A and B are shown apart, each in its own frame.
Chain A
Amino acid sequence: MLHKLFMYEALREAIDEEMARDKRVFVLGEDVGHYGGSYKVTKQLHTKYGDLRVLDTPIAENSFTGMAIGAAMTGLKPVVEGMNLSFLLLAFNQISNNAGMLHYTSGGNWSIPLVIRGPGGIGKQLSAEHSQRIEAYFQAVPGLKIVACSTPYNAKGLLKAAIRDNNPVLFLEHVLLYNLKQEIPKQEYVLPLDKAQVVREGSDVTIITYSRMLHHVMQAVKQLVAQGMNPEVIDLISLKPIDLETLVTSVSKTHKAIIVEECMQTGGIAAEVMAQIYSHAFDELDAPIRRLSSKDVPTPYNGYLEQACLVQPTQIVEAVKTLMST
């Protein structure tokens, strides 16, 4: 049995199911309760579960994130919503020192079963502060898991897995994907957090991407296929740790790779993915790995400049064609 849901509804179903299943699960953040969440992911949950389990917090990101960590250490399973994930830069210390590292520094005394989720990425002219790509900043933190969903189907299955995981998971939802619609199973399903997904099997070149850029890649792939090419497309899903096995298997087949990401080039996810493939599968490559990242500038407000900052499908088509001709 299938039903057609927007991505925000799929995410809401995931939280609702997990809250019904496990009383330790609770939601907290700015406007998650009475207001229903800035993108309606927690709409009406407070009427079903009450104000304690759907906790509206004051605007104090570092402190309520730390509070969630303390609650996770002492028997609960908090789901923090960053109203906009960019705001979690204000909680960097808690996410790094205490969510990421505490299991290690405490020698296993404490586990932090915590999900931090919310809208991220570059939206439509939201300007620099609200258009951060925080995965780049957080990928260096030991002990964190970072997961990016890209469709209503994987959003639901991955969020349920993240809530059940015994580690802190930074769960990235893209602000422009909430209104994406898809038929998904009515019966319960959970997807693995640590596996990349081969979205399209192919033989000529491996295109590695995640989150919203998957959709730019798929637009480009249509054109590439029409021109006789057969690319393989991989959705990373897990940005930390990277599912190297799936990447190496693919590169060993296609011998060419290109990475498409929305984060900045400097210190981005592609930088790490490239380094890992070079370290583990250099001999399989017939050409240097290409990467298409957004530009190393603060995200501009102006619509044309914003588009120029982002990787566009036509650029992907050109880059793949150039790579194929080497």
Chain B
Amino acid sequence: MWQLKLYRDMVLGRKFEDQCAQMYYRGKMFGFVHLYNGQEAVSTGVIQALAEHDYVCSTYRDHVHALSKGVSPKEVMAELFGKQTGCSKGRGGSMHLFSAPHRFLGGFAFIGEGIPIALGAAFSSLYQHNLWGVPMSVTACFFGDGTSNNGQFYECLNMAVLWKLPMIFVVENNQWAIGMAHHRSTSEVEIYEKAKMFGMPALEVDGMDVLAVHEVAKEAVERARSAKGPTLIEALTYRFRGHSLADPDELRAKQQKAIWMARDPITQLSSWLIEQELVTQEQLDKIHREIDIIISDAVQFALSSEEAKDLYQYVYAS
């Protein structure tokens, strides 16, 4: 059942991030670690609408995007531990996860810098489709509300529409750019309205409702794949934790957090599945138990892997 697949993917993301928090506080992972709790419906809803040969481009908050695209939890956890077995061989870390086999373009840590990269992947798909008939791949590019005030965003909206690139711009509007509230940073709070100025189809969706996100994503993927051009999806969402594990998170009001946490995308989907009598509680519990094992295996794998070695490997490609 496809809804159950979405549920499973969101639970994997949530439990993985909860484990990351624990491992960070136990001193197993370092640096800036940005968790995705609360936003799972966006990653799952969009990425599960893609095919294997499609591309995903992410930001510094990239763990769950990588997992949704199929990168193994073992390889992601090992990367966070800085191990040679990590998906970026321990050279990247939390903000720089990459996996060419999964067409996961990567975690890009500067605001907006991933958008041109995603644009390039989309251009490459169009080029290879037109010149030698390769089936069209679609590129989904994720970024936040803060990025929508950055020049690269506008430059790429322009080029994506100009060349009808097979691309989906996914704005995860969690309303906070670290401590900067969205309405304090932008002249037009409806981000999707900005894309419309470029003639790009754009819409707003409830980012806490995975079924709604999935529905609009499927339409956007279809548009892109049939060479009709890009779409912008603005998903309204919320992060349940601070900006990163180093953020004291003092600015967001408790009441605001409580309102959003009551709309947890995972509980919302589980309630719906039970109400619709599509699954039993026992089936959902079984998924939780299976994922607990996957996470525990990932931690064991990361712990027992060797540290990254050979400082100079990968400076230049052969």
Interface residues of A (CB under 8 A from B): 23, 26, 52-53, 57-58, 60, 62-76, 93-94, 97-98, 102-113, 142-143, 145, 166-167
Contacts and interface: CB of A to CB of B under 8 A. Distances in A.
B113 A94 contact: yes
Contact of B113 (A64, A75, A98, A103): A98
20 contacts: A52-B130, A66-B116, A66-B120, A66-B152, A70-B57, A73-B117, A75-B128, A97-B110, A102-B106, A103-B314, A103-B316, A105-B96, A106-B91, A106-B98, A106-B100, A107-B86, A107-B90, A107-B92, A109-B99, A167-B317
Interface of B: 55, 57, 86-92, 96, 98-100, 105-106, 108, 110, 113, 115-128, 130-132, 151-152, 155-156, 158-159, 162, 313-318
Residue of B151, B152, B155 most packed against chain A (CB within 10 A): B155
A65 B117 CA distance: 9
Contacts of B131: 23, 52-53
A108 B316 CA distance: 9
Given A67-B117, A110-B105, 10 more contacts: A26-B127, A52-B131, A66-B119, A71-B121, A73-B120, A75-B124, A97-B108, A98-B108, A98-B113, A107-B314
Contacts of A103: 314-317
A58 B128 contact: no
A58 B96 contact: no
Given A52-B131, A62-B155, A69-B117, A76 B314 contact: no
Contact of B96 (A71, A73, A106, A143): A106
A103 B55 CA distance: 18
A30 B279 CA distance: 57
A143 B132 CA distance: 31
Nearest to A51: B163
Nearest to B79: A107
Contact of B89 (A53, A68, A70, A108): A108
Nearest to A111: B317
Contacts of B126: 52
Contacts of A60: 155, 158-159
A33 B318 CA distance: 32
A67 B159 contact: yes
Contacts of A73: 105, 117, 120-121
Given A105-B92, A106-B91, A107-B91, A66 B316 contact: no
Contact of A110 (B106, B122, B127, B130): B106
B117 A70 contact: yes
Contact of A74 (B55, B151, B316, B317): B55
A307 B55 CA distance: 51
B123 to A, nearest CB: 5
A93 B110 contact: yes
Contacts of B105: 70, 73-74, 110
A74 B120 contact: yes
A75 B55 CA distance: 13
